[in-house]
Structure 1
Amino acid sequence: MIRVEVSNMNLIMSSRELFLILDDCKKRFESINQKPEKTEELFYQDVKPMFELALDKVQMWKPLAEEWVKMNKPKYIHSAQIDSTIDNIEQIVLQSFYKDINKQRFHNLYNSVEYVLSSILSEIECSQ
Structure 2
Amino acid sequence: MDNNQLYLDTKQLIQYNQKLSEIFTQIKTANEPADFFGVVKPTADEIWQVLDRWKPQVLDWIKIEKPKYFHPNQIESTCENIQAVSVQAFFPDTKEKRFKELIRSNKYIFDTLIELLEKQEKSQ
- Scaled by the length of structure 1, what TM-score is found? 0.88
Identity %: 28
Distance across 2 between alignment mates of 1:100 and 1:80: 29
The CA deviation at 1:34 is 2.5
Determine the structure 1 residue equivalent to 2:13: 18
Q: CA deviation at 1:56?
A: 0.3
Contact 1:35 1:97 (C-alpha < 8 Å) held by counterparts: no
Q: Partner amino acid for 2:76?
A: D
Deviations 1:23-74 (Å, cap 9, x if unpaired)? 1101011122235237xxx110011101111110100101110011111111
Q: Is residue 30 of structure 2 the alignment partner of residue 34 of structure 1?
A: yes
CA RMSD of aligned residues (A): 1.2
2:33·2:90 contact (CA, 8 Å) conserved in 1?
Answer: no
Q: Which structure has more RCO (C-alpha within 8 Å, separation ≥ 6)?
A: 2
Paired with 2:75 and 2:118, the residues of 1 have a C-alpha distance of: 19
- Unpaired segments ≥5 residues, structure 1: none
Q: 2:94 aligns with which of 73, 94, 101?
A: 101
Structure 2 gaps of 5+ residues are none
